Chains A and B, each alone.
Chain A
Amino acid sequence: MNQKLAMVIDSSKCIDCKGCMAACKQANGVSRGAWRNWIKEAVPPFVNGPGGSKKLGHGHFQPGACMHCDEPSCVQACPTGATYKNALDGTVVIDPKLCIGCGNCIKACPYGARFRDPQKRIADKCDYCPERRAAGLAPACVDTCPTKARVFGDINDPNSEAAKLLAANQGKVVRVVAKNRDTKPNMYYIASTAPDGWAVQPVDPLSFDFLAGVVAPVVKWAVGLSSLGVLAMLGRQLFAGAGPHDHGGKPADERPTGDKKEDGHA
């Protein structure tokens, strides 16, 4: 069976040390000002204390990154196939050679996982550190996490740490899902997590909606009609012959004078 690389996160273990964010930037040479992963923070609520007093409750930190969805809205928005779902390991990949930097995928991702790299001028995001995986290492963020909040592995392999953790918490696993559309993210949070509801609705840029919804069908119809016309003419030529071929119109000397043109082209 093909792999399905995923991250299983116990966000209650996260201490917001930002080690994963720093390690990712260091390992992947992410451009200044850009981040491939994040830690989101749920603001501690005011709760009722003893004697009618109020006190701060518990906050919560939530590590995250590209969720390598099974139904990725970013892939559906990419015009060149530069972003695609890798069938072998389940990761959502950006091919830098084919990306033209149009930015469709950035708006299409409801999790804000993508950005346009200011230096490379193309889309970038978490790729689960393929160089490190090839060398037998876990992604940089997983390796560096001091509390082991992030667990990474092939969840199709029941012996992987990630699959075991998922199995041990069956029925208690939650995901952060886009508004109005489940993109089937492969980022699993154990028991509960916060903040929730921050994922937005995936949107295609107007230019892409217009292209896919109007322009592509119009072009198909135009080419189809023109092909039909050519076939009709060809059929007539082959089966009916060119037909009586009076070259149309009266002889030149009987015609009214056309507008003059310069004797320019010769």
Chain B
Amino acid sequence: MRNLKRHDASDIFIHWFNAASWLVLLITGLGLIKNERLNPLGAWLPDALRALFGGGSAGGAVLLVIHEVAGVLWVLGILAYLAVNARGARFFLKEIFSVRPGDMSWIIRKMGRMTVGIGGELPPQGYYNMGQKAFAQASVAGGVAIVLSGAVLLLSDKLLPASATVLIGWAVTVHYLAVGLVFAGLLVHIYMAAISPEEKPGFRSMFTGVVPEDYARHHHGLWVETLDKGDTGTK
């Protein structure tokens, strides 16, 4: 069966690099929040994570260093991807932010079908379906917010003066909100891609770079149509 090319090596790299960065940053970040009004799951979580890295203050300091280094590496990795594959990045951004008629209907029907089993026929989708687009939009917008607020937090005790504490306080708030909302989407993303049987070929393409043509026709009909029209053949 014919395979269609879907991802470059750099696309695959940035996806998994982003995933690994999120894993490290999320875990270390959860260990850095400790306040009875903010703890997502209670004080035991930061306590346990800090204990894992040496306990108390020293453990927290280790978590902070890992978080800061991983955060800077994350940004550098994304910049490297943008430098290597700016074309791919532009295509990605253009695709995820172009919502077509029928997309909203698709996402509502899809949610109905996946949870309670009703929703009816799904409108055809392009290179990304609306669910993928929504999560990608959240990741990009959230990522920008996380990086900018993170930069403020990184510099707060290195560069910023006392007059900047208002900015630092809001950076904490934005950082928390953006991570929280993207994480909510991430749960669905991981389920859809890695656990749900439907998207298995899409999941495999995040390693191989290609998807089977019939899968692509069924799941990304509008994309395959443009490929057919462009007569690009196997890619």
The answer to whether A216 and B38 have CB atoms under 8 Å apart is yes
Tell whether A49 is near chain B: CB-to-CB under 8 Å: no
A residues near B228, Cβ cutoff 8 Å = 252
Contact code string A244-258 (vs B, CB < 8 Å = 1, else 0):
011111111001011
Interface size on A, residues (CB 8 A): 67
Contact code string A230-252 (vs B, CB < 8 Å = 1, else 0):
10111011001011011111111
Tell whether A211 is near chain B: CB-to-CB under 8 Å: yes
The interface residues of chain A, by DSSP majority, are classed as loop
A residues near B157, Cβ cutoff 8 Å = 99-101, 120-122
User: With A116-B162, A233-B196, A258-B226 as given contacts, are A98 and B57 in contact (CB-CB < 8 Å)?
Assistant: yes
Contact of A243 (CB < 8 Å), options: B33, B34, B117 = B117
Q: How far is the CB of B28 from chain A (nearest CB, A)?
A: 12
Complex CA gap A48/B52 in Å reads 69
The answer to whether A102 and B168 have CB atoms under 8 Å apart is yes
Q: How far is the CB of B100 from chain A (nearest CB, A)?
A: 7
The answer to whether A249 and B124 have CB atoms under 8 Å apart is yes
Contact of B126 (CB < 8 Å), options: A236, A250, A258 = A258
A residues near B123, Cβ cutoff 8 Å = 248-249
Contact of A258 (CB < 8 Å), options: B36, B60, B111, B225 = B225
CB neighbors of A among B150-203 (8 A): 153, 156-162, 165-166, 168-170, 172-173, 176-177, 180-181, 183-185, 187-188, 191, 195-198
> Interface size for chain B: under 10, 10 to 19, 20 to 34, or 35 or more residues?
35 or more
Which of B17-25, B70-78, B214-222 sits within the interface?
Answer: B214-222
User: With A95-B57, A101-B157, A229-B188 as given contacts, are A211 and B111 in contact (CB-CB < 8 Å)?
Assistant: no
B residues near A240, Cβ cutoff 8 Å = 117
The answer to whether A80 and B34 have CB atoms under 8 Å apart is yes
The answer to whether A233 and B57 have CB atoms under 8 Å apart is no
Tell whether B114 is near chain A: CB-to-CB under 8 Å: yes
Complex CA gap A233/B37 in Å reads 31
Residues of B that sit less than 8 Å from A by CB: 5-6, 8, 32-38, 40, 43, 46, 57-58, 60-61, 64, 87-88, 90-92, 94-95, 98, 100, 111, 113-117, 121-124, 126-127, 153, 156-162, 165-166, 168-170, 172-173, 176-177, 180-181, 183-185, 187-188, 191, 195-198, 217-219, 221-230, 232, 235
Beyond known contacts A97-B64, A258-B126: 5 more, CB 8 A cutoff: A98-B57, A216-B37, A229-B111, A236-B115, A255-B222
